[in-house]
Structure formats: C-alpha cells, structure tokens
C-alpha cells in the first residue's frame, strides 16, 4: 500500500538549529529517503516562496503565499510503499520533524487500478 | 458514596504499568502469599471458557488467534475512540448495530455511520489484521484494555447488559495473551465488580457498598477475580493500574474492609495515572478509615470541575461531619447532575434524611 507522509514541522524548529545540530537531522532525512520502502518525496521551499492560484468570480486569481492560512505549513513529504499502516507508522516516527515538535500526517494514496492507468 | 465503579474519566489513558517500577504494597504481598500458582491456574481455566464464533468460521485452533487479531484491529489507535468501541462490540461481541446504538444512547443511523466510517478507515488506511509485534505491544495493549473496560462500564449502571460481554472479551484476551499481567488485572477487576451486581441495585434502588447485603455477592466470581490477580502478580513484580484497581476491589470484597490499605492502593494508582478521579476515590477511603476532615480537605483541593461524583462525595462528607446546611446544598447540586434514576432516588433519600 502506498502512503504519503505529509510533514508539518513546528514553525522555526529546523531553521533555528545551529549547523552542528542540523547536520544529523538532515542526515536522518536523507537516510529515510534511502529506505527501500521510500518511493518518492521532496523537501519543500519555505511557505514564503509559495504562490497560490484559484478562481475568483471566473477570473484566475494569483496570490502570494500558501493556500491555508495557518501557522503549520507542509514542509515536505515522502511517498512510501509499506506493508500496512503499522509499517507506515514505524517509518513516520523516525521523521526528525516529530522529535522537533512537529507532526506527520499519514494519508493512504488512492490506488489506481491497472486498467485505468495510462 | 462516591463511585465504587470507575467512571469513564477514571480509566487510565496510558497505563504504563510494566514500565513503572514501584514499591510493593502490603495488600498485594498478602494476596500473593495467600495462594499458590497451581491452585489458581486450574481454577481459572475451569471458569467458563465459552468462546462463541460470530462472524469468523474457522477451525477450533485458528479461531482464537483470528479473534485476537480482530480485537487489535478494532482497537487500533488510528481509529477514533468511539469507533473502536463500536467496532469491537460489532465484530467480537456479535451485537447488532441497533443494540450498540441503544447502549451508547445514539440513534441507529448515527451508530451505523460510526461503524461504517470505522470499517472504511480500516480498509482504506491499511490497518493491519494482526497482533502487534512485541515492540508495539506495550503501546497497543492499553487501548484494547480500555475499550473492554469501557464496554464493561457501559453495561453497568442500567443493568442493560454489556458487562457480561466485556467479561467474555476479557476472558478471551486472558486465554490468548497468557503472559500480560494487566490482562488478568482487567479481568479480575471486572469479575469482582460484577460480583456485586445483585447487591448493588435492589428493587431499583442503588445500594452503597457499605450497606450491601454481602450474601448477595457472587463469591465464585470474587474468587475467580482473585485468582486472576494472583496470576497477574505471578507474572511480573511491578503492578499496573488494572491490577491495582482489582486489588482494591478485592479488598472491598472482604467482610471487614481495611480502608487504610485501600487508601494506600489508591495513592499508588494516583501516582501511576495522575487522575483526580482516583484522588476522589482515595478521599472516600480516607473518610471510611475514620478521617472525614482529612478526606474533605483532599476533595476540596481537587480540580474536577463539574464531575458529578465530586458533589455527591462532598455532600456525604459534610453530612458525616454534621455540617447539614452545606451537605444539603451539595446534595442538591449532585441531584441536579445525576444521570440515572437509581442515583437520583438515592440522593433524594439522603437529602430527605438530613
């Protein structure tokens, strides 16, 4: 089963780390990327770089900033091919954002039947 | 006076039983000395092992194993708490959606939605159909125990029977997980509390433990509960919240209750759980041990908001201290918050006796 691990770091928790503490955190993120169950993922640039597009009365509206008006913003994600939710939970608990005060939301991906995929 | 049974709030949310090494307690040591392992093991096994198969049609050996897996699936922490309970009753208790809805005072439609939401999540999120590996057991077992105990308490107040269902689940669990002390602790707690069923409500009236006709207590059930406590204590020297609660219930099943010892056990439980409801029960024990002033001071220091047993306990303590006017006020408050008819009538009787 495939799962998206949506990482919501505690705001400022990673940026505020001195280089000698950031290095092992970063190494942990990279090691998770190398886990055989990990089939994708990305580290997103900060929310200040986001651009949001939507329709407003038929017009395309482009605005600066992230869509959700909350403090917690998506910082990155992994896509995992795991045996089951417990397997995915085990992986999720090793994501450094958690021990730095953030959270990880696990969302199963919609499975696309073979015939429908093109 | 106050809740002799644990209210929902009193259930330890995260019992870390086997992680917490605490000093031994005289009561538990006493219980340990009194019995031998062989004796109890035989009796425990002889005590009604009926396991019914509801949805799963498998051979004798795999049935238990499948049911244990199902129990852990239903109680997976990724499911909402109310969904866990409903799913457990539906899948393992063989109760109909209608029966579960009635027990939890929600409409058939609401319960149907709750069940289908939980079932859909199991499927979509890939919640495993498996007994968790050892490394996860300490983390997962408490949820299973909490669900079973919640089912037990759901059945208790109105006599509408989920208690037997919970005991059956507890016994099943104890047969399948033979080396977890808290499993036996929970079973013991339920058995001993259930042994008072006939004496607790007489002709629709609530009777407090101290005023119960002990000849109506089910001695065989008390004994089976004590054997389960012994089994728990033989497995590991440290005791968890369910074993402590069972030991308290066991002490209270004695003809002469050692309230000082009960208070000491509540204190240990308080250290494990940090629950103010536990502290309230400790206050009751302190009062019964002969120190109502001390008990009242403890009650007044608790942060329990509008917990309904807080007021009935305060009222009773004030009554014993002869502070009738204050007692009246507290009984009236408790009466307004009572949720069952027998409770209401009991409080009304106390109020009219002032």
Q: Do A86 and B136 touch (CB under 8 A)?
A: yes
User: How many Å lie between the alpha carbon of B114 and the closest alpha carbon of chain A?
Assistant: 20
With respect to residue B3, please indicate whether it lies within any of the assigned structural domains. no
Nearest CA in chain A to B135: A90
User: How many Å lie between the alpha carbon of B128 and the closest alpha carbon of chain A?
Assistant: 6
Residues B24, B127, single domain; the answer is: yes
Last residue of some domain: B273, B298, B315? B273
Residues B211, B317, single domain; the answer is: no
Residues B283, B268, single domain; the answer is: no
Q: How far apart are CA B48 and CA B287, in angstroms?
A: 38
Which chain A positions have a beta carbon within 8 Å of B127's beta carbon? 84-86
Q: Do A83 and B128 touch (CB under 8 A)?
A: yes
Pick the CATH number of A2-108 from 3.20.20.70, 3.40.630.10, 3.30.70.1060, 3.40.220.10: 3.30.70.1060
- Domain harbouring B286, CATH code: 1.25.40.10
At residue B37, the 3 state secondary structure works out as helix
pLDDT of residue A81: 97
With respect to residue B1, please indicate whether it lies within any of the assigned structural domains. no
Average pLDDT across chain B, whole number: 80
Average pLDDT across chain A, whole number: 92
Last residue of some domain: B273, B290, B320? B273
- Average confidence (pLDDT) over A93-111: 96
Lowest mean per-residue pLDDT among A27-36, B12-21, B268-277, B318-327: B12-21
Partner residue facing B78 (CB), from A82, A83, A85: A85
- Average confidence (pLDDT) over B82-95: 87
Question: Among residues 42-81 of chain A, which lie with CB inside 8 Å of chain B?
Answer: none
With respect to residue B39, please indicate whether it lies within any of the assigned structural domains. yes
- Average confidence (pLDDT) over B199-208: 82
Partner residue facing A108 (CB), from B76, B126, B132: B126
pLDDT of residue B200: 84
Name the token pair of B275: 């629950």
B21 pLDDT band, cuts 50/70/90, is very low
Residues B232, B292, single domain; the answer is: no
Which chain B positions have a beta carbon within 8 Å of A88's beta carbon? 126
Residues B193, B66, single domain; the answer is: yes
Q: Model confidence over B95-136: pLDDT tens digits?
A: 889 888 887 778 999 999 999 999 999 999 999 998 898 888
With respect to residue B2, please indicate whether it lies within any of the assigned structural domains. no
B42 pLDDT band, cuts 50/70/90, is very low
Q: How far apart are CA A77 and CA A44, in angstroms?
A: 8
Q: How far apart are CA B173 and CA B186, in angstroms?
A: 10
Interface test with B, best of A85, A90, A109 (most B CBs within 10 A): A85
B160 pLDDT band, cuts 50/70/90, is low
Among residues of chain B, what percentage have pLDDT more than 90? 47
pLDDT of residue B117: 94
Partner residue facing B128 (CB), from A3, A86, A106: A86
Which residue would you say has higher pLDDT here, B42 or B210?
Answer: B210
- Average confidence (pLDDT) over B185-190: 97
How many domains, in total, are found in chain B?
A: 2
Partner residue facing B128 (CB), from A3, A85, A108: A85
**CA A103 to chain CA centroid, nearest Å:** 10
User: How many Å lie between the alpha carbon of A77 and the closest alpha carbon of chain B?
Assistant: 17
pLDDT of residue B57: 34
Domain boundary assignment for chain A = 2-108
Which chain A positions have a beta carbon within 8 Å of B124's beta carbon? 108
Which residue would you say has higher pLDDT here, B29 or A68?
Answer: A68
Residues B265, B316, single domain; the answer is: no
Q: Model confidence over B329-338: pLDDT tens digits?
A: 999 999 998 8
- Average confidence (pLDDT) over B341-347: 86
Residues B140, B183, single domain; the answer is: yes
- Average confidence (pLDDT) over A33-53: 94
Nearest CA in chain B to A1: B126
Which chain B positions have a beta carbon within 8 Å of A82's beta carbon? 126
Residues B251, B286, single domain; the answer is: no
Question: Among residues 90-109 of chain A, which lie with CB inside 8 Å of chain B?
Answer: 106, 108
Q: Do B127 and A82 touch (CB under 8 A)?
A: no
Contact A91, A5 (CB under 8 A): yes
Which chain B positions have a beta carbon within 8 Å of A87's beta carbon? 128
pLDDT of residue B266: 96
pLDDT of residue B161: 66
Residues B233, B298, single domain; the answer is: no
Is the pLDDT at A107 greater than 50, yes or no? yes
pLDDT of residue B245: 95
Residues B129, B229, single domain; the answer is: yes
Give the range of the structural domain holding residue B12, as residue numbers without chain letter.
Answer: 8-273
- Cα angle vertex B104, ends B193, B113, to 5°? 140
Is the pLDDT at B6 greater than 70, yes or no? no
User: Is this structure's pTM higher than 0.90?
Assistant: no
Partner residue facing B127 (CB), from A3, A82, A85: A85
Which chain B positions have a beta carbon within 8 Å of A108's beta carbon? 124-126
Residues B242, B284, single domain; the answer is: no
Is the pLDDT at B36 greater than 70, yes or no? no
Closest CA to B311 of B301, B299, B322: B299
B216 pLDDT band, cuts 50/70/90, is very high
pLDDT of residue B28: 46
Contact B313, B280 (CB under 8 A): yes
User: How many Å lie between the alpha carbon of B56 and the closest alpha carbon of chain A?
Assistant: 22
pLDDT of residue A100: 95
Q: Do B124 and A88 touch (CB under 8 A)?
A: no
Residues B315, B231, single domain; the answer is: no
Question: B132 and chain A: CB distance < 8 Å anywhere?
Answer: yes
A44 pLDDT band, cuts 50/70/90, is very high
Give the gyration radius of chain A's Cα atoms.
17
Is the pLDDT at B169 greater than 70, yes or no? yes
Nearest CA in chain B to A87: B128
Lowest mean per-residue pLDDT among B104-108, B160-164, B177-181, B289-293: B160-164
User: How many Å lie between the alpha carbon of A22 and the closest alpha carbon of chain B?
Assistant: 29
Question: B136 and chain A: CB distance < 8 Å anywhere?
Answer: yes
């Amino acid at each position: 089963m495939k799962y998206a691990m949506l990482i919501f770091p505690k705001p400022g928790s990673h940026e505020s780390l001195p280089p000698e503490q950031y290095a092992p955190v970063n190494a942990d993120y990279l090691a998770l990327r190398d886990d055989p169950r990990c089939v994708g993922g990305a580290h997103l640039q900060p929310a200040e770089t986001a651009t949001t597009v939507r329709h407003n009365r038929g017009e395309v509206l482009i605005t600066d900033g992230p869509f959700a008006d909350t403090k917690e913003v998506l910082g990155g994600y992994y896509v995992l091919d795991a045996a089951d939710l417990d397997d995915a939970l085990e992986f999720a608990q090793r994501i450094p954002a958690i021990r730095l005060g953030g959270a990880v939301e696990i969302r199963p991906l919609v499975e696309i039947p073979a015939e429908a995929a093109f | 006076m106050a809740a002799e049974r644990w209210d929902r709030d009193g259930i330890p949310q995260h019992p870390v039983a086997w992680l917490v090494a605490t000093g031994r307690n005289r009561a538990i040591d006493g219980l340990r000395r009194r019995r031998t392992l062989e004796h109890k093991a035989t009796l425990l096994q002889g005590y009604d092992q009926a396991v019914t198969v509801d949805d799963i049609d498998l051979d004798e050996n795999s049935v238990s194993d499948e049911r244990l897996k199902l129990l852990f699936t239903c109680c997976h922490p990724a499911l909402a708490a109310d969904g866990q309970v409903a799913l457990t009753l539906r899948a393992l208790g063989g109760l109909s959606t209608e029966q579960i809805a009635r027990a939890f005072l929600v409409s058939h439609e609401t319960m149907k939605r709750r069940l289908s939401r939980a079932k859909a999540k199991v499927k979509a999120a890939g919640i495993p159909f498996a007994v968790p590996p050892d490394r996860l057991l300490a983390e997962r077992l408490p949820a299973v125990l909490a669900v079973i105990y919640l089912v037990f308490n759901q059945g208790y107040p109105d006599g509408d029977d989920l208690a037997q269902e919970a005991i059956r689940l507890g016994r099943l669990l104890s047969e399948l997980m033979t080396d977890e002390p808290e499993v036996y602790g929970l079973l013991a707690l339920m058995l001993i509390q259930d042994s008072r069923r006939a004496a607790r409500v007489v002709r629709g009236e609530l009777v407090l433990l101290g005023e119960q006709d002990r000849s109506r207590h089910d001695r065989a059930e008390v004994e089976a509960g004590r054997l389960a406590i012994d089994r728990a204590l033989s497995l590991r020297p440290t005791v968890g919240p369910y074993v402590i609660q069972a030991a308290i219930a066991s002490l209270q099943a004695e003809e002469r209750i050692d309230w000082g010892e009960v208070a000491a056990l509540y204190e240990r439980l308080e250290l494990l759980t940090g629950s103010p409801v536990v502290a309230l029960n400790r206050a009751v024990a302190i009062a019964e041990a002969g120190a109502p002033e001390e008990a009242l001071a403890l009650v007044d220091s608790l942060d329990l908001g509008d917990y309904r047993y807080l007021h009935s306990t305060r009222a009773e303590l004030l009554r014993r201290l002869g502070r009738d006017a204050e007692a009246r006020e507290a009984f009236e408050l408790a009466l307004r918050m009572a949720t069952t008819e027998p409770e209401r009538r009991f409080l009304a009787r106390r109020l009219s006796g002032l």
